[in-house]
């Protein structure tokens, strides 16, 4: 394996800028790696070799002509297939969008292009981002590079696996209830959900609009922060986009200073249902933070217990409305248009053929929760619980700067283990749901291996627009553990 695929984004950008290596060589090394391992991992739905090399050549021209480069110019990236990119297909992991080539770039893609980031291809995901294992993809599951029999998490499992398998140093995912943080945790890498509204949703195929947020994956905290700073910022094309300046996440990641920080341990995110190995690594991480001068305070957030119930009513409700746009009339699949069937029947047949089982299940559930007679008991009540969860966070901020918990209750389960048990599957998101409902930033950083020798992550949550704080804490943990391990957790994985 070439050193180029193991290098961090920071190292690659520096080598490209000082002409030690060309962006084309870096892109080619990663395309070769994809060709070598992706048959086993299935992280990518589409590899855009020509497009990647063309973008890389443009960066090399810029270097040759002495232009000032962005901090990630020439660094390759894997893009979750839920963001539109012109020139290549966008499927959102669904048959209903098979072959669709969007006529416009997502704002995230536009920002990546402007920064000279080289997009290698589109990554696998649970259909329309509904899932926690990437098994709900219409194009087959992605495999966890640590153990190919295990799930890579979801819904951004392809993006996480691509970074973990050294197919790309950077990736973009989206997180609605944990879809960046949970895959990052179980594949042993770093993943962050920015504050809701910090990254534009323009060009992001909508699942649950009040929760959906795109964010970065990388193998180090500083790389993750750099990608965050490239994609975040106000966008007039997204009415929920935040106008305030993006916090200095890169500076915070580089400082890694947690002395005198007040860090809250959430009492409700531990105990029954949490694997002993997960709990043990978490407890060790708490001690590492204490040793670096942080003050550790136990915090109770009683409404977090209801996050799962609230989320699995709010998200399906919003999805049942959002996915109405797949009507077989303007884009995507149309089946059985035989001249006999009416438009409504063609719609029914197309949606039956184009949507997978979990998407249908959630549309039906959401339709139920929004229907008259049930609205107040389900959707209305869930929105009130959302208020209570937000109040728990706000009460916590009176005494602590950040909250921490394990990212997931367990290590990654086996592919197939939970597919017929939706509720067991939903519990993979237990720890990540509260900050999704609240809207604040959260990150997952590797903290070791659990009982089954598979990765365990630490989640750090912060107040709205205090994204810098989650990077500061994650970086402190990463630094302390790097001293113990002599490198990253990923160095302990068996090479593919």
Partner 1 sequence: MSAISRDDVAHLASLARIELTEQELNDYAGQLDVILTAVASISEVAADDIPPTTHAVPVVNVFREDVVTPSLDRDSVLDHAPAAEDGRFRVPRILDEE
Q: Which is nearer to partner 1, 449 or 464 (CB)?
A: 464
When asked if residue 377 is in the footprint of partner 1 (CB under 8 A), the reply is yes
Residues of span 452-471 touching partner 1 by CB under 8 A: 464
Kindly tell me which of 9 and 363 has the beta carbon lying closer to partner 1. 363
Question: Catalytic annotation on 80?
Answer: yes
Q: Which of 469, 468, 479 is nearest to 446 (CA)?
A: 479
Q: How far is the CB of 375 from partner 1 (least distance, A)?
A: 11
| Contacts of partner 1 in 240-259 (CB under 8 A) | 240, 242
CA distance 350 to 358: 16
Return the bridge partners of 262, or none. 295
- Per CB under 8 A, which region of 39-47, 162-170, 354-362, 402-410 contacts partner 1? 354-362
328 binds partner 1 (CB under 8 A): yes
For partner 1, the closer CB: 93 or 446? 93
Q: Looking at 57, 95, 267, 360, which residue binds partner 1 (CB under 8 A)?
A: 360
Smallest gap, in angstroms, from Cβ of residue 235 to partner 1?
11
Q: Which of 222, 263, 385, 473 binds partner 1 (CB under 8 A)?
A: 385
3-state secondary structure of 475: helix
Q: Which of 62, 192, 265, 347 binds partner 1 (CB under 8 A)?
A: 347
Query: DSSP label at 83?
Result: B
- Calculate the alpha carbon distances from 110 to 117, 118, 322, 436 in Å: 10, 12, 24, 25
- Interaction of residue 260 with partner 1, rule CB under 8 A: no
C-beta neighbour count of 419 within 10 angstroms: 17
The active-site residue out of 8, 22, 133, 179 is: 179
For the bound state, the minimum distance from the C-beta of residue 126 to partner 1, rounded and expressed in Å, comes to 17
Using CB under 8 A, pick the residue from 79, 108, 437, 490 that binds partner 1.
437
The number of C-alpha atoms within 13 Å of 486 and in the hemisphere containing its C-beta is: 2
* Rounded Cα gap, residues 204 and 215, in angstroms: 12
Pick from 255, 279, 383, 492 the residue near partner 1 by CB under 8 A. 383
Give yes or no: 155 in active site. yes
Catalytic residue among 94, 137, 155, 208: 155
Least distance (Å) between residue 422 CB and partner 1: 6
Residue 343: other Cβ atoms inside 10 A? 11
Handedness of CA 76, 78, 83, 89 (dihedral sign): positive
For 367-485, list the strands marked E by DSSP. 402-406, 442-449, 455-461
How many angstroms separate the CA atoms of 176 and 100, rounded?
Answer: 23
Interacting residue with partner 1 among 6, 267, 348, 479 (CB under 8 A) = 348
State which of positions 63-122 bind partner 1 (CB under 8 A). 100-104
Q: Is 335 exposed, middle or buried, given 0-12, 13-18 or 19+ CB atoms closer than 10 A? A: middle
Question: Would you count residue 342 as binding partner 1 (CB under 8 A)?
Answer: yes
Residues 276-315: x where in contact with partner 1 by CB under 8 A, - otherwise, as a string: ---------------------------x-xx-xxx-xx--
| 433 is an interface residue for partner 1 by CB under 8 A | no
Parallel/antiparallel/unpaired status of strands 442-449 and 190-193: antiparallel
Residue 386 binding partner 1, by CB under 8 A: yes
- Nearest distance from C-beta of residue 300 to partner 1, angstroms: 16
* Residues in region 389-418 near partner 1 by CB under 8 A: 390
CB 94 to partner 1: min, Å: 14
Query: Catalytic: which of 8, 70, 80, 303?
Result: 80
Kindly report the CA angle at 477 between 471 and 483, in degrees rounded to 5?
130
Size of the site for partner 1 (CB under 8 A): 74
Among 196, 202, 413, 471, binds partner 1 (CB under 8 A): 196
Interface with partner 1 (CB under 8 A), residue from 10, 368, 397, 479: 368
Minimum distance between the CB of residue 206 and partner 1, rounded to whole angstroms?
14
Residues whose CB falls within 8 Å of the CB of residue 137, separated by 6 or more in sequence, listed in order: 45, 93, 124, 125, 126, 127, 158
Q: Which is nearer to partner 1, 35 or 364 (CB)?
A: 364
The CB-side HSE value for 19 (13 A sphere, CA atoms) comes to 7
- Closest approach of Cβ 134 to partner 1, in Å? 20
Rounded to a whole number of angstroms, the minimum distance from the CB of residue 226 to partner 1 is 24
**Three-state secondary structure along 163-218?**
HHCCCCCEEEEEECCCCCHHHHHHHCCEEEECCCCCECCCCECCCCCCCCEEEEEE
Neighbours of 264 (CB within 10 A): 22
Which two three-digit tokens encode residue 107? Answer: 């704002």
Residue 381 sits in the site that holds partner 1 (CB under 8 A)? yes
Asked if residue 106 lies in contact with residue 86, where contact means CB atoms within 8 angstroms, the answer is no
Is 208 a known active-site residue? no
76 close to 223: Cβ distance less than 8 angstroms:
no
**Binding residue (CB under 8 A) for partner 1 from 210, 270, 279, 492:** 210
Active site residues: 80, 155, 179
């Amino acid at each position: 394996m070439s050193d180029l695929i193991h290098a961090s984004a920071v190292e690659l950008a520096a080598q490209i800028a000082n002409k030690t290596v060309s962006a084309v060589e870096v892109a080619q090394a990663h395309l070769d790696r994809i060709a070598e391992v992706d048959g086993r991992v299935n992280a990518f739905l589409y590899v855009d070799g020509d497009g990647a090399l063309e973008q890389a050549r443009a960066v090399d021209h810029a270097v040759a002509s002495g232009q000032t480069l962005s901090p990630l110019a020439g660094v390759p990236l894997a893009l979750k297939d839920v963001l539109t990119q012109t020139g290549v297909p966008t499927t959102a992991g669904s048959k209903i969008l098979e072959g669709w080539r969007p006529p416009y770039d997502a704002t995230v893609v536009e920002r990546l292009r402007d920064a000279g980031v080289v997009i290698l291809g589109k990554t696998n995901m649970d259909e329309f981002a509904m899932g926690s294992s990437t098994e709900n993809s219409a194009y087959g599951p992605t495999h966890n590079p640590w153990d190919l029999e295990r799930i890579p998490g979801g819904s951004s499992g392809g993006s996480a696996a691509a970074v973990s398998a050294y197919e790309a140093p950077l990736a973009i995912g989206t997180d609605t209830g944990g879809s960046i943080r949970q895959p990052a945790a179980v594949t042993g890498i770093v993943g962050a959900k920015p504050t809701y509204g910090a990254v534009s949703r323009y060009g992001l195929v909508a699942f649950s609009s009040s929760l959906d947020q795109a964010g970065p994956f990388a193998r180090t905290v500083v790389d993750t922060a750099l990608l965050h700073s490239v994609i975040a910022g106000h966008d007039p094309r997204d009415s929920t986009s935040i106008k305030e300046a993006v916090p200095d996440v890169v500076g915070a990641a580089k400082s890694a200073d947690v002395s005198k920080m007040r860090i809250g341990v959430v009492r409700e995110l531990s105990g029954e249902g949490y694997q002993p190995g997960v709990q043990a690594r978490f407890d060790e991480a708490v001690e590492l933070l204490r040793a670096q001068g942080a003050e550790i305070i136990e915090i109770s957030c009683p409404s977090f217990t209801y996050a799962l119930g609230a989320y699995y009513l709010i998200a399906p409700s919003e999805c049942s409305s959002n996915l109405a746009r797949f009507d077989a009339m303007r884009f995507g699949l149309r089946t059985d248009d035989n001249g006999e069937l009416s438009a409504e029947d063609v719609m029914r047949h197309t949606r039956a053929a184009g949507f997978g089982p979990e998407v249908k299940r959630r549309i039906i559930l959401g339709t139920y929760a929004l229907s008259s007679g049930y609205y107040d008991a389900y959707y209305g009540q869930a929105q009130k619980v959302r208020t209570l969860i937000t109040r728990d966070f706000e009460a916590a901020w009176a005494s602590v700067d950040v909250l921490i918990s394990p990212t997931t209750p367990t290590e990654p389960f086996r592919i197939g283990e939970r597919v017929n048990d939706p509720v067991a599957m939903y519990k993979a998101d237990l720890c990540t749901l509260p900050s999704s409902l609240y809207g604040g930033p959260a990150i997952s950083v590797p903290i070791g291996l659990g009982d089954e020798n598979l990765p365990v992550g630490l989640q750090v949550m912060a107040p709205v627009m205090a994204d810098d704080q989650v990077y500061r804490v994650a970086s402190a943990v990463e630094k302390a553990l790097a001293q113990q391990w002599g490198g990253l957790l990923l160095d302990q994985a068996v090479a593919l």
